[in-house]
Amino acid sequence: MINRFKPIPALCLLLFAGQAAWAQSPGGWSLRKCIDYARENNIQVHSTQVTQQSSQEDLAEAKAKRVPSLDFSTSQNYVNQKSEKTDGNFEANGTYSGNYALKTGITIYNGSKLTNSLRQQEVINKSRQFQVDMARNDIEIAVTQAYLNILYANENVKISRQTVESSAAQLERSKALLEAGSIAPSDYAQMESQYSSDKYQLTVSQTSLDQNILTLKQLLELGLDESFDVQFPDLSSEDVLAEVPALDRVYRRALEVMPQVENSRLNVESAQLGEKIAAGDGLPSLTASASIGTGNISGTNYSFYNQLNNKLNENVGITLSVPIFNNRKAKSSIARSRLQTRQAELDYQSMEKDLLKDVESLYQDAVSAQSRYLAANDKVKSAETSYGLVLAQFNEGMKNTVELLTEKNNYLSAQQEQIQAKYQAVLSIKLLNFYQNEPITL
């Protein structure tokens, strides 16, 4: 499931979200650079790659089981025991012996278990590669969310900083009005309190920006000594109001290109092969074996090489094994494998529904955010006009502090709605395009 964009609280925003001026950092990390780096260097991605490499070794082992095995064994023994002599006395005699054997064996038939096991391992190997792709997609989505959170937080910092500057000017004007007797000391105290609150909010906004940068840096697995400067691209209204792709088109395309779809399908295929493997436990098996061996012993009149030749023995045989009663082992194995297949089929259905849920939620978020963004633009304009009028009247001593702060909060609330809708729309549209296998860029 995809985590929705979580806006950062901001109590004081003064300027239009769309008018915030972001400094370009040509040498910094762009969103695409962050994504490409994370897809190759994230630890979770590396972990799935190790699993995939291990699966390749399992596949090589499954192939090797179809060829004959070959083993060489030897044993070297020394026996020391007393023996009676002709005069009735005993003496210690040591005897050294050696045995040597070369054995081979091959499975001729075992209910097609070897064939099906090889096919199953090939399927598993393919699914492991799709799991690597899934891990890369997960980190790409996470990086995109973290990057947009940084842009959002950076805009809040700039707006909060200008809010403080505006509050400082209003405080200075209030001081002049207080000295002229146009406002009461309580009104001036309210302006001082608002100024302090705005400075505090600037600190909160800066802390949020730093935390979001740290989150992205951690996703990239960057160390303490590695510098990290983020680029801040200017997102225009065209980016926010970009065309939202049709829901049915996105979902159909996602079913074709998203790795979790093929991974789930392969899991079903693997489980079905598991049923065939389990069925082989109840069928006869036929194996062939051959061996050649020899040995030697000390204390004889024959040389070492003559003994090896004289004791040479050869053996070849075929073994047929027919299961008759194995304490329900085969039957239970077949039943469990069928349940595993059913579970894999249910997991596939669940994956399809989760994918549809994600796409539907992103589509709804995009459409809703664009509508809220357009409405917020009008709301900000009217709130700005009202705030400007009240501010002018306050400077003339015609409005009190409460009326001014009320209008200011209304204005800031409208801007907050605007900036939230802005980034929700951008994120949702980018992810909808991503589900159509389009790269995420800003």
DSSP 8-class letter at 230: B
Q: What are phi and psi of 57, to 5 degrees?
A: -65, -40
Q: Per the structure block, which two tokens stand in for 149?
A: 């959170």
Rounded to 5 degrees, what angle do the CA atoms 166, 170, 176 make?
150
Instruction: Tell me if 21 sits within 8 A of 158, measured CB to CB.
Output: yes
pLDDT per position as a tens digit, 168-193 = 988 888 888 888 887 888 888 988 99
Q: Which amino acid is at 48?
A: T
DSSP 8-class letter at 301: S
What number of H helices and E strands is found in the chain? 10, 4
Instruction: Tell me if 99 sits within 8 A of 74, measured CB to CB.
Output: yes
Q: Map tokens 């073994």 to a residue.
A: 319
Q: Residue 393: what pLDDT?
A: 87
CA dihedral 7, 142, 442, 154 (to 10 degrees): 40
pLDDT per position as a tens digit, 146-174 = 999 999 998 888 888 888 888 898 888 88
Please compute the mean of the pLDDT values over residues 116-142 and round it to a whole number: 95
CA dihedral 180, 185, 187, 191 (to 10 degrees): 90
Q: Residue 348: what pLDDT?
A: 97
User: CA-based Rg of the chain, rounded to a whole angstrom?
Assistant: 39
Please compute the mean of the pLDDT values over residues 114-141 and round it to a whole number: 95
Is residue 197 classed as helix, strand or coil in its secondary structure? helix
Q: How confident is the model at residue 144 (pLDDT cuts 50, 70, 90)?
A: very high
DSSP bridge pairs for 96? 78
Please compute the mean of the pLDDT values over residues 95-103 and round it to a whole number: 91
pLDDT per position as a tens digit, 361-371 = 999 999 999 99
Q: What is the rounded CA–CA span in Å between residue 41 and residue 35?
A: 10
Q: Which residues lie below 8 Å from residue 319, measured CB to CB, with a gap of 6+?
A: 286, 287, 288, 289
Q: Residue 24: what pLDDT?
A: 39
Q: Residue 72: what pLDDT?
A: 95
pLDDT at 251 over 50: yes
CA 335 from chain centre, in angstroms, equals 33
How far the first Cα of the chain sits from its last, in Å, is: 23
Q: Residue 111: what pLDDT?
A: 86
Instruction: Tell me if 254 sits within 8 A of 436, measured CB to CB.
Output: yes
Rounded to 5 degrees, what angle do the CA atoms 304, 310, 313 make?
115
Q: Per the structure block, which two tokens stand in for 226?
A: 């590695």
pLDDT at 26 over 60: no
Structural domains of the chain, with CATH: 17-68+112-284+326-434 (1.20.1600.10)
Instruction: Of 216-230, 249-263, 330-344, give the lowest mean pLDDT range.
Output: 216-230
Q: What is the rounded CA–CA span in Å between residue 428 and residue 430?
A: 6
Q: What is the rounded CA–CA span in Å between residue 254 and residue 372?
A: 27
For 241-247, the CB contacts below 8 A with 24+ separation are: 241/370, 241/373, 241/374, 241/425, 242/429, 244/363, 244/366, 244/367, 244/370, 244/428, 244/429, 244/432, 245/432, 245/433, 245/436, 247/359, 247/360, 247/363
pTM above 0.85, yes or no: no
CB atoms closer than 10 angstroms to residue 67: 8
pLDDT at 244 over 90: yes
Q: Per the structure block, which two tokens stand in for 31?
A: 């969103």
Overall residue count recorded for the chain in this entry: 442
DSSP bridge pairs for 294? 100
CB atoms closer than 10 angstroms to residue 125: 19
pLDDT at 6 over 50: no
pLDDT at 88 over 80: no
Q: Which residues lie below 8 Å from residue 309, measured CB to CB, with a gap of 6+?
A: 294
DSSP 8-class letter at 27: T
CB atoms closer than 10 angstroms to residue 74: 11
Q: Residue 278: what pLDDT?
A: 92
Q: Which residues lie below 8 Å from residue 328, measured CB to CB, with a gap of 6+?
A: none
DSSP 8-class letter at 65: T
Instruction: Of 210-214, 325-329, 414-418, give the lowest mean pLDDT range.
Output: 325-329
Torsion over CA: 36, 37, 43, 46 (sign): positive
CA atoms within 13 A on the CB side of 295: 12
Residue among 161, 165, 192 nearest 178 (CA): 192
CA atoms within 13 A on the CB side of 309: 5
Q: What is the rounded CA–CA span in Å between residue 368 and residue 12?
A: 24
The per-residue pLDDT of the chain, averaged, comes to 87
pLDDT per position as a tens digit, 8-19 = 333 333 333 333
Cα–Cα distance list, 326 to 116, 329, 332, 336 (Å): 22, 6, 10, 16
